[in-house]
Amino acid sequence: MSGPYYKGLISLRSINWGRNYRYDAQFGDGSVPSPFQDWFPLTDVEVNEGTVVSTEYKFGQSTYRFPIHANAMDMRMTFNDDEDYTLLQWLKTWYNQIAGSGFVEGIRGGFVQTLAECARPLTLVRLGPDGEPATDPNTMLNVKLWIYPDQAFYWRGSSMPEIPTYPANFQVVGVQ
């Protein structure tokens, strides 16, 4: 069929468009303390759903690209905290358990955990307008991501009327 494929308003109205703010998240391993054990206060989340790395191949006067491998997934999230800094303590403990760079009761530095020891499951659900999962719960849109915190994590004090907000990076080491 030849175009036009896009018919302006009619085409736009024929789609049930998604919304960025329809998602839900929970750490399902019971590691997150009260009051965030049931829902995690994510305000922003970005998941690297796939990265394909290509290489160049020069032949004659042209350059060609073709895929050679896929990169590991990572994700970024921003979340809030309560007046007891519950999630600051939770994440700090997680960091120290992984790399032992600081001091946690009973655990000193000088070791690094294995992936199996440090990864925790984050259930991330993309929701439809009715608050239900956007598609079948078993699809890739509703996933359990096994993640561990990666790179630097900062607590930030401020003199502005704000609540604690943490941006943090994670590596995704498994998808269920």
**Residues engaged in binding other proteins (CB under 8 A):** 6, 8-9, 11-13, 17, 19, 21
Determine the Cα–Cα distance for residues 129 and 117; give it in Å rounded to an integer.
Answer: 37
Which residues of the chain form beta strands (DSSP E)?
23-27, 42-47, 52-59, 62-70, 73-80, 120-126, 142-150, 165-175
Taking the complex as a whole, the smallest distance from the CB of residue 81 to other proteins amounts, in Å, to: 14
Pick between residue 22 and residue 76 the one whose CB is nearest to other proteins. 22
Determine the Cα–Cα distance for residues 58 and 17; give it in Å rounded to an integer.
Answer: 42
Bridge-partner residues for 75, per DSSP? 47, 170
Taking the complex as a whole, the smallest distance from the CB of residue 82 to other proteins amounts, in Å, to: 10
Taking the complex as a whole, the smallest distance from the CB of residue 163 to other proteins amounts, in Å, to: 11
Pick between residue 12 and residue 115 the one whose CB is nearest to other proteins. 12
Taking the complex as a whole, the smallest distance from the CB of residue 12 to other proteins amounts, in Å, to: 5
Pick between residue 24 and residue 74 the one whose CB is nearest to other proteins. 24
Determine the Cα–Cα distance for residues 42 and 34; give it in Å rounded to an integer.
Answer: 15
Determine the Cα–Cα distance for residues 122 and 146; give it in Å rounded to an integer.
Answer: 6
Taking the complex as a whole, the smallest distance from the CB of residue 164 to other proteins amounts, in Å, to: 14
Largest CA distance in the chain: 70
Pick between residue 109 and residue 129 the one whose CB is nearest to other proteins. 129
Pick between residue 13 and residue 108 the one whose CB is nearest to other proteins. 13
